[in-house]
Amino acid sequence: MPIKVYVDCTLGAGGHMEGMMQQHPELQTAVGIDVDPVAHSIAAERLAPLLGRPSGPTLHQLRGNYSDVLSLLSGCAAAGGPLVGRVDAMLMDLGVSSMQLDSAGRGFSFMADGPIDMRMDPGAALSAEELVNAAPEAELCRILRDYGEEKAWRAVARRIVTAREAGPITTTQQLVQVVGQTQLRGGNSSSSSSKRRGGGSGRGIHPATRTFQALRIAVNNEIVRLEQALPAAISCLSPGGRLAVISFHSLEDRAVKHAFMAAAGRPTPEQEALVSGPDGWRVLDSLAAAAQGRLITRKPLLAGPEEVAANPRSRSAKLRVFERAGGPAADGSSSKGSKRRRHAME
């Protein structure tokens, strides 16, 4: 279907937006959402040549978090009225952007020295430095375990607390040294034995990878915001509109998978026990009646060898796509499917 309204929920430097404008001459309205004011400035400069054409789209740059996509689009004036329910294509490219990662002053990377900041929104109250130096040990343990999936979470948290007692940890390289010492002391961290993030290359990842991931997710409340954003984004789609999400680690991908399954009327892992029970067909009927569309990707799409060679950071990327239907049981398939499921379970 033609794409007349496109929303990039993670505008960044504008690379995806630029591609959409170049590949879809029918595009009329483009919206770029990002919490980072630096990203907006860079994207505006990059996209300017594509906006001066007589037939070019109108670009709306909105500063905010994608978890607020519904309210942001509700307040965005465009030709034809409010954009909610009119979005033909929407993208979320999750995690930290290359632009942010390559800026030492933002504190996202353990490869260069800089302040331990990690805020995607520079105006946000909480920084990673505050977490590292003030969070109770139990809270650091939870963050490292739940957000970093770090096997040695106790050892890493203990080492951070011990190190900060001698003086505040203020730079990324100080933190790298602390985490590295944990590994040398036999912390048995998954970071020292795991394969590169989703790359399958067999090379061990940097010992600080999971610690930096955990702190970044905690500082930006990424998983909670993602879980809020996905159903809101789906509600903004037009009939037949599609939401594409690129994730970079298992926590993100799991959240996307479950949200898409729920929106497609499929039982999530948490609902499997109910489906297997004596009233399972009723659960399936209820899910099917609430379905908003279908899964375009039953399994995530991965970057191919050529793309990984050109962009090594894509090795861990997973793409999932959801398509919104015209309405529940618009073609009568839901009710027929319910009868078949009921018969099978009886």
Give pTM, 2 decimals: 0.84
Identical fold for domains 5-93+223-263+293-326 and 107-220, yes or no, is no
Question: Could you write out the DSSP letters of every residue in 98-129?
Answer: HHHHT-GGGT--SSS--BS---SSTT-S--HH
Strand, coil or helix: 223 = helix
**Residue-range domain boundaries for the chain:** 5-93+223-263+293-326, 107-220
First to last CA, the chain: 40
pLDDT the model gives residue 273: 64
CATH class of 5-93+223-263+293-326: alpha beta
* Angle at the Cα of 75 from the Cα atoms of 324 and 58, rounded to 5 degrees: 80
What integer pLDDT is reported at residue 181 of this predicted model?
73
Pull the structure tokens for residue 325: 């239907």
> Is residue 101 classed exposed, middle or buried when 0-12, 13-18 and 19+ CB atoms within 10 A define those classes?
middle
What is the CATH number assigned to the segment(s) 107-220? Answer: 1.10.150.170
Could you state, in chain order, the average pLDDT of each consecutive group of 10 residues for the chain (346 residues)?
A: 95 97 95 96 95 85 96 85 93 92 92 95 95 98 97 96 98 95 54 37 74 97 98 97 97 96 83 67 70 94 95 93 73 40 34
